[in-house]
Amino acid sequence: MKLIEIKEILEADVPTGKYDSEMEIEIGCSSDLMSEILAFGKPGSILLTSLMNIQVINTANVADIKVVCFVMGKIPNENMIKSANRNDITILTSKLTTFESCGRLYKNGLQSCSYQDIDK
Amino acid sequence: MDKNRTTSKVQELTFEMKVKDVMKRNIATVNPTMSVGSLRDILQKKRISGVPVVNDDKLVGIISIEDFIKCIEQRDINALIEDKMTTKLVTLFADESLVYAVLKFEEYGFGRFPVISRKDKKLVGIITKSDILRGVLNKLETVYHDEEERRYRASHIFNDIVADDVFLKFQYYVEGKNFDKAGEAATGLKKTLYRLGLSPEIVRRASISTYEAEINIVAYTEGGKITAYLEPHQIRIVFTDKGPGIPDVEKAMISGFSTAPGWVRELGFGAGMGLPNIKKFTDEMTLTSSIEKGTHLETIIKLSDYRNGE
């Protein structure tokens, strides 16, 4: 799925920073527990979270997650945006709930990180 | 780069590179029984100054724009190509070195040479002076880029340094209880390993496990340090802290077990996944802890494919 589709489906905004509308995203994951994302997040996926602190960006960075979408209308601070830009991570913000944003993407064909992979 | 070195590099390349590396393939050819007049289109469209004449795959001559002009002057454009072409052919073999081609250009003063294969003498391409120039310049550029990248590759360091044991050591200091800075060591290490040319998968495993351990140092201790040793066959990372130590190491390793205070959980950690995650992403993990001395964690990630997988 192209990033521009994801942006439209989630009715998302892009705070100033890196944004490549043609970027291909195949997998989505969502959690407010960063250890879960580290455990089963896939490289190149999008992370949806309502957690709001710099560790979300650090988690995305070390786990090679390319796009982070903050849901529930949460807005990242300048420090987080700077860190995301430095590490080539795209930030989206959406007013939708976590449940609805995941549901919309899943319904439109975005694949999920499989829980089975956790033990691999 | 000083001038002498550039010259010698170019000379070196002209010895190393072959005619086939720079020649034009897919070239236009004409048949000996075509009229000279039919050359007009080919010369104009392809913007070339000479065309090889081929009969049954065999190179029989070459006809140039000068021959064409001569025919126009003599109002003889209906003449057959075979009567006007040059048949005293000087050719180059595809596997000959460029330096030999350069000498041939100097010797004959021709604008181009047909290139034939040594095996079956079939025409395989054509070479001009500008093909040589372009080829050498492109090659120089590639060589320069490779050199730039190689300079940072760990394998280069390991190969070139003469010692019984070589390792690179990276040291990071971690502040206790400062969550704004948590993750700086892991992201720093990630950048470093990536820059040194390790595979993305290895870099990812090393940085995720380091990040979890770093979060633990920040969340539970008064601070500590992370020391990564990059060796030719493995990455070994040692985490030490100033205490207070883990009362029950066995219990701490159980997935879901956590003693994290509320503020750690609010930040998205403390769900009892840290140590299991570290184990998952490393090949070896050794954890010792004592209440007096603090915790000592050592992880190893093997680089089996490192030397070959470059």
State pLDDT tens for residues B261-285: 888 888 889 888 899 999 999 999 9
Between A and B, how many CB-CB pairs are < 8 A? 71
Same domain, B21 and B100: yes
Nearest CB neighbour to B277, from listed A35, A51, A56: A35
Parallel/antiparallel/unpaired status of strands A27-30 and B92-93:
unpaired
Share of chain B above pLDDT 70, in %: 95
Residues from chain B contacting residue A32 (CB–CB below 8 Å): 268
Residue A68 vs residues A29, A64, B202, B239: alpha-carbon distances, Å: 10, 11, 23, 29
Q: Does residue B134 share a domain with residue B104?
A: yes
| Cα dist from A56 to A60, B39, B147, B259, whole Å | 6, 68, 37, 21
Distance in Å, alpha carbon of B149 to nearest chain A alpha carbon: 20
pLDDT band at B150 (very low <50, low <70, confident <90, very high): low
Q: Is there a contact between B208 and A36 if contact means CB atoms under 8 Å apart?
A: no
Q: State whether B244 and B209 are in the same domain.
A: yes
CB of A69 within 8 A of CB of A46?
yes
Domain assignment of residue A51, given as a range:
3-112
**Which H or E element spans position B125?**
strand B123-128
Same domain for B291 and B240, yes or no, is yes
The residue that leads in pLDDT, B28 or B279, is: B279
Q: Which helix (H) or strand (E) holds B169?
A: strand B168-175
Answer yes or no: are the C-beta atoms of B114 and B89 closer than 8 Å.
Answer: yes
Distance CA B184, CA B200 (A): 19
Smallest Cα distance from A44 to chain B, Å? 12
CA dist., res. B282 & res. A72, Å (int): 35
pLDDT at B308: 39
The pLDDT assigned to B290 comes to 87
Residues B185, B237: one domain? yes
Domain membership flag for residue B262: yes
Whether A119 is in a domain gets the answer: no
Classify residue A24: in a domain, yes or no.
yes
The answer to the question of residue A120 being in a domain is no
Our count of domains for chain B comes to: 2
Find, among B110, B54, B49, B112, the residue nearest to B81 by Cα: B54
In this structure, what CATH number is given to the domain that contains residue A61? 3.40.1390.20
Residues B132 and B236 both lie in one domain: no
Final residue belonging to a domain, choices B147, B177, B200: B147
Are B183 and A54 in contact (CB < 8 Å)? Answer: yes
* Last residue within a domain, chosen from B119, B147, B175: B147
Query: Quick one: which H or E segment has residue B59?
Result: strand B58-64
User: Residue B151 — very low, low, confident or very high, per pLDDT cuts 50/70/90?
Assistant: low
Length of chain A measured in residues: 120
- Which residues in chain A have Cβ-Cβ distances shorter than 8 Å to B271? 33, 35-36
- Residue A102: phi and psi, rounded to 5, are -65, -45
* Reported ipTM exceeds the 0.95 cut: no
Inter-chain residue contact B269 with A33, CB threshold 8 Å: yes
How much is the average pLDDT of B24-40? 88
> pLDDT tens, B171-222?
999 999 998 899 999 999 999 998 888 888 999 999 999 999 999 999 999 9
Task: Kindly state whether residues B239 and B268 are assigned to the same domain.
Answer: yes
Name which of A33, A35, A120 to mutate to probe chain B: the one with the most chain B Cβ atoms within 10 A of its Cβ: A35
- Chain A: give the shortest CA distance to residue B198, in Å: 14
Count CA atoms within 13 Å of residue B137 on its CB side: 6
Query: Chain B: nearest CA to A55, how far in angstroms?
Result: 7
Residue B26's contacts (CB-CB under 8 Å, 6 or more residues apart) are none
Give backbone dihedrals phi and psi of B190, rounded to 5 degrees, phi first: -60, -50
- Residue B305 pLDDT > 80: no
Give the residue from chain A lying closest to B200, CA to CA.
Answer: A64
Residue B310 pLDDT: 38
B109 touches chain A (CB under 8 A): no
Please say if the pLDDT value at position B147 is more than 80. no
- Does some domain include residue B309? no
Establish if B222 belongs to a structural domain. Answer: yes
Q: pLDDT per residue over B41-95, tens digit each?
A: 888 877 788 889 998 878 899 898 888 898 889 888 888 998 889 888 889 999 9
- In tens, the pLDDT along A41-97 reads 999 899 999 999 999 999 999 999 999 999 999 999 999 999 999 999 999 999 999
- Tell me whether residue A118 is in a domain: no
- Same domain? B286 vs B224: yes
Average model confidence (pLDDT) across chain B:
87
In whole angstroms, how far apart are CA B142 and each of B13, B19, B296? 12, 18, 46
Cβ distance of B180 and A87 shorter than 8 Å: no
B308 found inside a domain: no
In a domain, B310, yes or no: no
pLDDT in tens, A4-41: 999 999 999 999 788 888 888 989 999 999 999 999 99
Residue B174 token pair: 């971690």
Kindly state whether residues B15 and B93 are assigned to the same domain.
yes
> pLDDT tens digit string along B107-139?
998 888 999 998 888 899 999 988 999 899 888
Question: Domain range holding B79?
Answer: 3-147
Short-list B58, B62, B59, CA closest to B43: B62
CATH of the domain at B194: 3.30.565.10
Q: Are residues B127 and B169 in the same domain?
A: no
The string of pLDDT tens digits covering residues B216-239 is: 999 999 999 999 999 989 999 999
Task: Say if CB B287 and CB B275 are below 8 A apart.
Answer: yes
Number of structural domains (chain A) is 1
**Cα atoms found within 13 Å of the Cα of residue B254, Cβ hemisphere only:** 7
Q: Which of B147, B168, B201 is the last residue of a domain?
A: B147
Q: For residue A48, tell me if it sits in a domain.
A: yes
CB spacing of B273 vs A39 below 8 angstroms: yes
Lowest mean pLDDT among B123-137, B150-164, B252-266: B150-164
Q: Are B51 and B29 in contact (CB under 8 A)?
A: yes
B158 or B97: which leads in pLDDT: B97
CATH of the domain at B140: 3.10.580.10
Average pLDDT over residues B294-301: 95
> Is residue B241, in this structure, part of any structural domain at all?
yes
Please report the pLDDT score of residue A118 as a whole number.
Answer: 44
Tell me how close the Cα of A68 comes to any Cα of chain B, in angstroms. 15
Whether the predicted pLDDT of B306 surpasses 50: no
B143 and B167 share one domain: no
pLDDT at A120 over 70: no
pLDDT exceeds cutoff 60 at B289:
yes
Bridge partner residues of A30 (DSSP) = A48
Q: Which residues contact A22 (CB under 8 A, 6 or more apart)?
A: A2, A3, A4
For residues A48 and A104, give the distance between their C-alpha atoms in angstroms, rounded to a whole number. 12
pLDDT for B212: 95
B240 within a domain of the structure (yes/no)? yes
